[in-house]
């Protein structure tokens, strides 16, 4: 009876020892790090690979270093020109300092999300609607720089910010369409006026050349007659040279 009791005791002791050793052995993947606390005090960052912890004395918090994707919910934004829009975005970031991301902030995912929402409203509110629609790359860069500077204290690196949607109400869409149509008409009128200006300049240049060389005017008369004759019109207007009229007027009677 004593032998069975001793055997059971040893089996229990072995099971407890194995459990303690199992809890002491930690394995971290290549993209993971372990923030180690000894009796509540930070004592280092472990990993990747296999290492041992002192059970009940040391605790470890796993931190994933891979890039994370964070969807920023749609935000109501009033643009600089007083247009109400709804804007959504996506953020790509990762942990670069496991110690700071664990100690300096309670929940870095929630903190980054809230900071992204306020930054999105603040930055876009300083720009007109046209800039939101046409200069997204510059706005993305501005938001990314602000977020990256503010999350640096948390050990977070914001790599990319992309504005996904800028939703405008129906009445504003119609107003933008009318504005675009008016802009196209303005450009067409400007182009037409520039063409008229260039044509007038060329005509003036041609008139100056013809005035300096009267024989060129005669050649122009003949060319015009050729064009009129080819049109098979019933009436032909023949240009009368001014010089000939002057000669006939001055002819002695």
210 versus 241: the higher-pLDDT residue is: 210
67 and 159 Cβ atoms separated by less than 8 Å: yes
For the segment 143-155, the average pLDDT, to the nearest whole number, is: 94
Residue 250 in this model has a pLDDT that exceeds 60: no
165 versus 242: the higher-pLDDT residue is: 165
Three-state DSSP class for residue 182: helix
Mean of pLDDT over the chain: 83
Residue 70's alpha-carbon distances to 52, 89, 93, 167, in angstroms, are 34, 9, 8, 20
For the segment 114-141, the average pLDDT, to the nearest whole number, is: 90
**Residue corresponding to tokens 């938001």:** 143
Residue 219 in this model has a pLDDT that exceeds 80: no
For residue 128, give the H/E element and its range: none
Strands 41-46 and 49-52: unpaired
27 and 50 Cβ atoms separated by less than 8 Å: yes
Residue 243 in this model has a pLDDT that exceeds 60: no
Of 184, 177, 116, 120, residue with least CA distance to 151:
116
Per-residue pLDDT band for 246 (boundaries 50, 70, 90) equals low
Q: The CATH number of 68-168 is which of 2.60.40.1510, 3.30.479.30, 3.90.226.10, 3.30.450.20?
A: 3.30.479.30
Cα–Cα distance, 209 to 244 (Å, whole number): 21
Residues in CB range of 184: below 8 A, 6 or more apart: none
Cα–Cα distance, 211 to 165 (Å, whole number): 64
Could you read off the pLDDT of 200-213 as tens digits, one per residue?
Answer: 887 777 777 767 76
51 and 81 Cβ atoms separated by less than 8 Å: no
245 versus 152: the higher-pLDDT residue is: 152
pLDDT at position 218, please?
Answer: 63
Cα–Cα distance, 94 to 103 (Å, whole number): 16
pLDDT at position 180, please?
Answer: 73
Cα–Cα distance, 133 to 218 (Å, whole number): 60
pLDDT at position 9, please?
Answer: 72
Cα–Cα distance, 200 to 219 (Å, whole number): 22
For the segment 167-176, the average pLDDT, to the nearest whole number, is: 72
Residue 242 in this model has a pLDDT that exceeds 60: no
pLDDT at position 119, please?
Answer: 94
Total-model pTM = 0.65
Could you read off the pLDDT of 25-43 as tens digits, one per residue?
Answer: 889 999 999 999 999 999 9
240 versus 194: the higher-pLDDT residue is: 194
Q: How close are the terminal C-alpha atoms of the chain, in Å?
A: 168
Per-residue pLDDT band for 95 (boundaries 50, 70, 90) equals very high
Structure tokens at 78: 């009033």
Helices 136-151 and 108-124: angle between axes, nearest 10 degrees: 140
Strands 25-28 and 156-168: unpaired
Q: 53-57, 222-226, 240-244: lowest mean pLDDT where? A: 240-244
Domain positions in the chain are 2-63, 68-168, 171-217
Of 43, 97, 35, 96, residue with least CA distance to 61:
35
35-39, 187-191, 216-220: which is most confident: 35-39
């Amino acid at each position: 009876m004593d032998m069975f009791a001793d055997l059971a005791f040893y089996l229990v002791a072995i099971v407890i020892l194995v459990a303690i050793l199992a809890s002491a052995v930690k394995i971290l993947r290549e993209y993971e790090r372990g923030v180690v606390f000894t009796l509540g005090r930070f004592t280092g960052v472990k990993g990747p690979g296999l290492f041992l912890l002192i059970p009940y004395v040391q605790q470890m918090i796993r931190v994933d270093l891979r890039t994370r994707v964070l969807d920023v919910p749609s935000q109501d934004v009033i643009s600089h020109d007083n247009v109400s829009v709804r804007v959504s975005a996506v953020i790509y970031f990762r942990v670069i300092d496991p110690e700071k991301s664990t100690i300096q902030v309670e929940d870095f995912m929630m903190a980054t999300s809230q900071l992204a929402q306020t930054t999105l409203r603040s930055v876009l509110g300083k720009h007109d609607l046209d800039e939101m629609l046409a200069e997204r790359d510059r706005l993305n860069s501005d938001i990314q720089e602000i977020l990256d500077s503010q999350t640096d204290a948390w050990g977070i690196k914001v790599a990319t910010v992309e504005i996904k949607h800028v939703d405008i109400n129906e009445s504003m869409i119609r107003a933008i369409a009318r504005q675009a149509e008016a802009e196209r008409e303005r450009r067409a009128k400007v182009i037409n006026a520039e063409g008229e200006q260039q044509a007038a300049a060329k005509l003036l240049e041609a008139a100056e050349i013809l005035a300096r060389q009267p024989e060129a005017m005669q050649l122009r008369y003949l060319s015009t007659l050729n064009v009129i004759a080819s049109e098979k019109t019933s009436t032909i207007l023949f240009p009368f040279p001014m010089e000939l009229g002057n000669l006939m007027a001055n002819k002695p009677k």
